[in-house]
Structure 1
Amino acid sequence: MLDSKPMDAKAMFTSEKAVCPAHAPADHPKIPPGKVGVLLANLGTPDNYDYWSMRRYLNEFLSDRRVIDYSPWLWQPLLQLVILTKRPFTSGANYKTIWNHDKSESPLATITKDQTAKIKEAMAARYGDDVMVDYCMRYGNPSTKSKVRKMIAEGCQKILFFPLYPQYAGATSATANDQFFRALMDEKWQPAVRTVPAYFDQPAYIDALAQSVERAYGAMETKPDILVTSYHGVPKRYLLEGDPYHCQCQKTTRLLKERLGWDDSQITTTFQSLFGPEEWLRPYTVEEVAVLAKAGKKRIAVIAPAFSADCIETLEEINEEIKDSFMDAGGESFTYIPCLNDDAAHITALSGVIEDNLKGWIE
């Protein structure tokens, strides 16, 4: 999905700083000076919460074979004739409850823009004008293709592609990388590229998570009985097929526990956002919080370490569906600790990951 008209070849070389290469004929096309691009990528967002905006977004998302790997011969008729006739209404209603009406966009879009602006400031302070920072979405707008083309047009001869997923999964990091490489297939002059690996165990990221927990707990008169670290789920089959996501989530929780100086009774790992008939990674958050309430854990806090920015899965699913499950089972106090978003410690952690991955390209 493209959010803007593609640039033609001539437009790619009209940068104000473009120059004719040394020793080239006078009629040689001008070429922009070489830059390094840093392209941040998040999951995506619908353009609006109306039926057709939601249908376009969900169709792109649920047609991705990395997300739903069932045979298209079986899946597409079900998707097009059943799921996409009903789900856009319910998903749209959920988005409406969290929508940023002032800016006419989803919270994920707002937060990703804020993150990009702050990382851009950090990169400018570190590298000056030699590094260009922008963002794209895997699904929806701004599309990966449009932003890759823009970076090349601005003279980026090297691009660092950064999927904003702390833990690697085929359905998140891999599909973002797939789309990035598909965008490169349409470029006549491809830049050199790198992709950023998962940063689930980076000390600065763990420390940023710990600081957010400490701030939340410090503001409470009575501390929660347990912290639930809720990660987005994937089918259990993916783990058995070699996807490292489950293991990386468990390690993030362990490192967070150690950083906070806690024992096992104070923190637990769960998985949310189930879809489809097969078994997903367990325990399921929506069920586990009810189990905790019935077991006497009347005060809980929930954090979502797999999300770099608050979105429908945190603001609506955790703060509404999962909260309701806990309270209906006898819970008394439910606290959602927001994602790291554009918090200063998070921006520092992400900037550090970027700087580590730019080594050898720019110093």
Structure 2
Amino acid sequence: MASRFRGSAFNHIEEQKVGVLITNLGTPDAPTPSALRRYLKEFLSDPRVVEIPRLIWLLILHLIILRIRPAKSAKTYASVWTDQGSPLAFHTRDQADKLRQQLQAQHGDNLVVDYAMRYGNPSITSAITTLCDQGVRKLLVLPLYPQYSGSTTASTFDAVAKDFASRRWLPELRFVNHYNSHPDYINALVNSIRAHWGKHGRAQKLVLSYHGVPQFYLHKGDPYHCECLATTRLIIEALELGPEEYITTFQSRFGKAEWLKPYTDATLKELAANGTKSVQVICPGFAADCLETLEEIEEENREYFMEAGGERYEYIPALNSSDEHIQTLSNIVNTHIQGWTIQPTGSAERQQTLQARSEQAKRCPHNKPRA
């Protein structure tokens, strides 16, 4: 009977590297109904994402949502699609490339960096396989969700655990839960706001819009809401804004259940109707620009505000692959890989290690020819 465990054979002489895997939510492969159907099926089938009775939800998903929503979502994705693919895809790829350059400049090529998506491609399993095939035996997973939520961060851990459950030789694992209050992350956001103010001036109101989750997640103990408010508080303290100069909101709600409030779209309409003429919106929970920032915030919510009487609306982009963001991610990685030995290429220590492994391999029965 074939084994359900997979993985390359053990080899004493193989280089043992440290791997860093950054992850984000995911994106369809193309802005087409068929690609959206595959993506939405995987995404909305995750019990971490939709916490209602399983059988009922699967009936709704397959009989209604997957028949109607893919065509509509495809048009929405097409509005932000580029020659490089979806914005989330190329921004995450750029983040991985720049983070790799930065970390290898510090540690050498025995530290490798890759990226994956929780849903869609490249998958977490494919990325872990690629890293293990390169000799990674110590793995740090960094989900690019600054604020922890069961529906995002924990779901990513589920995917890693599922992969590990079918892998014979497991790398040592470390996992970053959140970084919502990390000083470098806060400073990067504050500096991006100040840079925008330097070019465009300030607006009457700064809107800090986070992705929403159902209200009952909070009541069941999910810390996401509290971590969003903590991020806002630290940003506002650094900017020295008064209570009337900012507001925290939540966007992207789905379905009829009550989600975290106040809602971004309703708030923008209300602000304009009550005489606020100018707003600037930033999304501190998004590490990279994507459909929810570029289409929902920059386009759709702009229309809501302007049609309700607003006169000036500006979106402050996500940190994406800016130098300060990459430095922040590099600092987070370096904190979490402390204690893991990384031997640079060509170092005497590395050569001694390889020689010792070679001698060990000669004595290992595993490597001796069988009669």
Fold equivalence (TM over 0.5): yes
* Structure 2 residue aligned with 1:325: 304
| 2:251 corresponds to which of 258, 267, 272 | 272
Specify which of 161, 167, 170 is matched with residue 190 of structure 1: 170
Q: Distance in 2 between matches of 1:214 and 1:148?
A: 38
* 2:49 matches 1:67: yes
CA shift for structure 1 position 262 = 1.6
Would you say 1:293 and 2:272 are equivalent positions? yes
1:36 deviates by 0.7
Structure 2 unmatched runs, 5+ = 343-371
AA of the residue aligned to 2:326:
I
Structure 1: unaligned runs, 5 residues or longer: 1-6, 22-30
Q: Output the amino acid matched with 2:172.
A: A
Q: Which residue is 2:107 aligned to?
A: 127
The Cα of 1:350 is off from its aligned counterpart by 0.8
| Alignment pair present for 1:152 and 2:140 | no
Secondary structure class of the residue paired with 1:54 = helix
Q: Does 1:139 align with 2:119?
A: yes
Q: 1:262 aligns with which of 237, 241, 246?
A: 241
Q: Percent identity?
A: 45
2-side partners of 1:136 and 1:164: how far apart? 11
Give the Cα–Cα distance (whole angstroms) in 2 for the partners of residues 184 and 162 of structure 1.
Answer: 16
Aligned equivalents of 1:32 and 1:70: distance in 2? 47
Cα displacement string for residues 175-194 of structure 1 (whole angstroms, at most 9, x for unaligned residues)? 01110111111111011101
Say if 2:36 and 2:73, in contact at 8 Å, map to a contact too: yes
Q: 1:319 to 1:149 in 2, by over 3 A?
A: same
Residue correspondence of structure 1 range 342-357 to structure 2 within 5 A: 342-357=321-336
Counterpart check, 1:232 vs 2:214: no
Does residue 99 (structure 1) correspond to residue 81 (structure 2)? The answer is yes
Contact 2:6 2:166 in 1 (8 A): no
Q: Which secondary structure does the structure 1 equivalent of 2:109 belong to? A: helix
Amino acid in structure 2 at the alignment position of 1:347: I
Q: Give the CA deviation at 1:267.
A: 1.4
Structure 2 counterpart of 1:41, from 11, 23, 29: 23
Could you tell me how far 1:8 is from its partner in structure 2? 7.1
Q: Assess if the C-alpha contact under 8 Å between 1:107 and 1:311 holds in 2.
A: yes
Q: Deviations over 1:87-107 (max 9, x none)?
A: 00111000000001x22x101
Q: Verify the 8 A CA contact 1:32 1:154 in the aligned structure 2.
A: no
Alignment partner, residue 216 of structure 1? 196
Asked if the contact 2:17/2:111 (under 8 Å) is kept, the reply is yes
Please give the root-mean-square deviation of Cα atoms over the aligned residues, in Å. 1.4
Paired residue secondary structure (1:214)? helix
Could you tell me how far apart the structure 2 residues matched to 1:196 and 1:32 are?
27
| Aligned with residue 173 of structure 1, among 148, 153, 156 | 153
Structure 2 counterpart of 1:176, one-letter code: T
1:229 deviates by: 0.3
Kindly state the Cα deviation for residue 32 of structure 1 after the two structures are TM-superposed. Answer: 2.0
Residue-by-residue CA offset, 1:149-181 (whole Å, 9 max, x unaligned): 111111111100110000001111110111011
Other structure's SS at 2:94 match: helix
Where 1:194 maps in the other structure, the secondary structure is strand
Q: Deviations over 1:260-295 (max 9, x none)?
A: 122222111000001111100000000001111122
Does 1 or 2 have the higher relative contact order (CA < 8 Å, sep 6+)?
2
Does the CA contact (< 8 Å) of 2:117 and 2:124 recur in 1? yes
Q: What displacement does 1:223 show? A: 2.1
TM-score scaled by length of structure 1: 0.91
Return the alpha-carbon distance in structure 1 between the equivalents of residues 243 and 167 of structure 2: 51
Structure showing greater radius of gyration is 2
What displacement does 1:355 show? 0.5
Deviation at 1:75, TM superposition (A): 0.6
